[in-house]
Structure 1
Amino acid sequence: AFGYSLGGRNAGRVPAARERLFEDGFFVPLQELCELGRLDLQRDPRLPQIYSQIAGLADFFLNGEEARFRDAFIDYLRLIYRGTARPDSLWKLCDRSPEQLDEAYRSYLAEP
């Protein structure tokens, strides 16, 4: 698989993200997730489930679709650390709607 040298898609936190999505039916749409501020996220009672999803999303943005969104995701992380990210920054950088990215993420995790 593209982008892996150790572990792979079935190692680390990706299996937990897959389990949350497909077995537990847990999913926070990207648009809602990106609107959460740091304190809102930390206080959210769903934090453990959200954390699993975020780990899966990070793997998707870095490695999914042959790393199509990797550069955009790294740019997004820079915006976050600079404090200049907006709720719509990620999907604008990816040139996709949040709904398209949600679907691509689901498809990515569904792959064997």
Structure 2
Amino acid sequence: MILERDLEDAKKRMLMNFLFYYVNFEFQETKHNFERKINLLTTKNTTNMTIEDILIGQAELRGKRLGIKEAQEAEIARLIRKQGLTDDQIVDFAEVSHSLVKRIRKKTEKIN
């Protein structure tokens, strides 16, 4: 549930750390089962990673995706402003959707 909710990464990390470090399992086997299930839920299969490592890894992936998206949007804006390409030309060149190009064109026109 923690991973599915739209929480800030810091809050997810605090909740997972609480569960991992402060909830005492009576048996070591229960703790290992908990860690194994967390790894399965987060698509990690190594048992030596902590929950915090997993959450940090997920945050890094989201950051990379966001960076790629921002770079792509900046390139589309550049094609609109400096190259004067049409929406169809940008869709073909950048291999993006028409809706994305239209949204960025609308933003670009507001700025100018």
TM range (shorter): under 0.3
Instruction: Give TM-score scaled by structure 2 length.
Output: 0.23
- By percentage of residues, which structure has more helix? 2
Bigger radius of gyration? 2
Larger RCO: 1 or 2 (CA < 8 Å, sep 6+): 1
